[in-house]
Structure 1
Amino acid sequence: MPNERKAQGAFVYVTYIRTTPERLWTALTSPEFTKQYWFGMHHETDWKQGSDWRLMFPDGRVADAGRILEIDAPRRLVLKWRNAFKPELHAEGDSQCTIELEPIASVVKLTITHTIDREESQFIKAVSGGWPRLLSNLKSLLETGDIVLAA
């Protein structure tokens, strides 16, 4: 049906990290910090609204790419996100990743919401396996100084 809207694929992950919003924001946006918990990968961007961004493999290949749709440090970041290295995931088109930080007493609630306008998305299935690993490493690194999962 022409007017029928496809169901949207979504992945939501919430964790609480014993840190400050500023420290968590730095961990999310600093290339050197990101490499520690994102299996050697890092972001390339100037972190300004409307700017392009890329997630880079350690060998220099582009893993994912997109644009910064919204940025409100240290509270909210919204990225247009598209896989660049797996043809079947790239073909699904753009997704949107929203990262929200909310201070609650001595912790920060971190919510990642990754969506795509596609039913049964293989991309959402892929990020559903990736985000928990990354965020477990991030939480552990900020709280203890060590990651829990190696590449």
Structure 2
Amino acid sequence: MDPRTVRALIGTPRHPELVLRREYRATSGELRDACTSLPRLARWFGSVEGAPSGAGAEFRVDLGGDGTATGRIRRCDDDGLEVSWVAGEEPESILSAEWRDTGAGRAELTLRHRLASEERVAPSGRGWDDALAALDRSLTGGEAVAEGAGAWRLIGARPLEVTRTVDAEPERVWAAIASAEGLRTWWWRHWSDVTIEADVRVGGRYRIEAPGAEIAVEGRYLVVEPPQRLAFGWRWIDADGSSVDEAVDITLSAAGRGTLVTVRHTGPWEDDAPAESYRQGWDFTLGELAAVLAGARARNP
């Protein structure tokens, strides 16, 4: 897979969300111009009718061999663009793009597509891979190649879902999972050398490392909606290397006096072994979370 594009599949089977992130040899202003200027859009994306600028404006895109798409501008400012999106006969979905400078004459584009059906994961993912590669070519004149639908078919083929009811209200569970201080009370607590960093905001980074065990996980937060939902990219690192294009989406919902915690973990797994290994890991990890919060409630009923 092209290491310049980081992919994540989050959301639910009924409402999946694609997230793609790619760094370009350009400034954020150049990326904004490439995504909002009609002549620039025509070079890499398609011929657009209707200026993609003011909120409420409607547009139509000729996608060449992929047909046409229509939509309405929901937001357009210096930092990003959000539109409603209808391609062909598919249901309406929401598409957003955000850009930011990363330094040394480079900038990053993050694209998020909230789909209306599970069947659209592979074809939409393929289309956005193609589009981001085309944008690269338009900016640099290079020969960037897209991955195609194969990567997204794997990512969507074996989603893992694990649930656990925790004896604590959603606000307390959120505090435990959405801060470095909270995570330190339960994540890998059986090891004494664990270090945790967590900048819990969209785009913020986290890293959890156990040097003695020679393992770590790291990534960036994709969705932060307290106290209901936390989604983030996931890169597992051990002596054998590191994983790619994995993501975790955690949702919290009230269940009596407690909270139902649902973890959905996705990745480009070619067989069932990675999902089964992660299932065992999440069963243990959520058990630790439940034990710590149940103990805290017993001490402070």
Fold conserved (TM > 0.5)? yes
Task: Pick 1 or 2: higher relative contact order, CA cutoff 8 A, min separation 6.
Answer: 1
* 1:48 partner SS: coil
Aligned to 1:34: 183
Q: Distance in 2 between matches of 1:58 and 1:74?
A: 31
Q: CA RMSD in A?
A: 2.7
1:71-111 residue CA offsets vs partner (Å, 9 max, x unmatched)? 101110111101122435x1x41201000000133111100
Q: Distance in 1 between matches of 2:197 and 2:272?
A: 26
Pairing partner for 1:71 from 216, 224, 231: 224
1:24-54 residue CA offsets vs partner (Å, 9 max, x unmatched)? 0111133344233222345312200011221
The number of residues matched between the two structures is 143
Show the 5 A alignment for 1:76-95: 76-88=229-241, 90=242, 92-95=243-246
Aligned to 1:19: 168
Q: Distance in 2 between matches of 1:58 and 1:9?
A: 30
Q: Distance in 2 between matches of 1:111 and 1:11?
A: 10
Aligned to 1:52: 205
- 8 Å CA contact 1:19–1:108 kept in 2: the answer is yes
* 1:117 partner SS: coil
Aligned to 2:264: 113
* 2:188 partner SS: coil
- 8 Å CA contact 2:179–2:198 kept in 1: the answer is no
Q: Distance in 2 between matches of 1:96 and 1:15?
A: 19
**1:136: how far off?**
0.9
Change (3 A) 1:58 1:36: farther
Aligned to 1:132: 283
Letter in 1 for 2:261: L
- 8 Å CA contact 2:178–2:230 kept in 1: the answer is no
Aligned to 2:81: none
Change (3 A) 1:101 1:120: same
Aligned to 1:149: none
Q: Distance in 1 between matches of 2:149 and 2:293?
A: 47
- 8 Å CA contact 1:38–1:134 kept in 2: the answer is yes
Q: Where does structure 1 lack aligned partners over 5 or more consecutive residues?
A: 147-151
**Does 74-83 or 123-132 show the bigger shift?**
123-132
Identity of aligned residues (%): 25
Change (3 A) 1:85 1:108: same
1:101-131 residue CA offsets vs partner (Å, 9 max, x unmatched)? 0013311110011111222165433322211
Letter in 2 for 1:87: D
Letter in 1 for 2:280: G
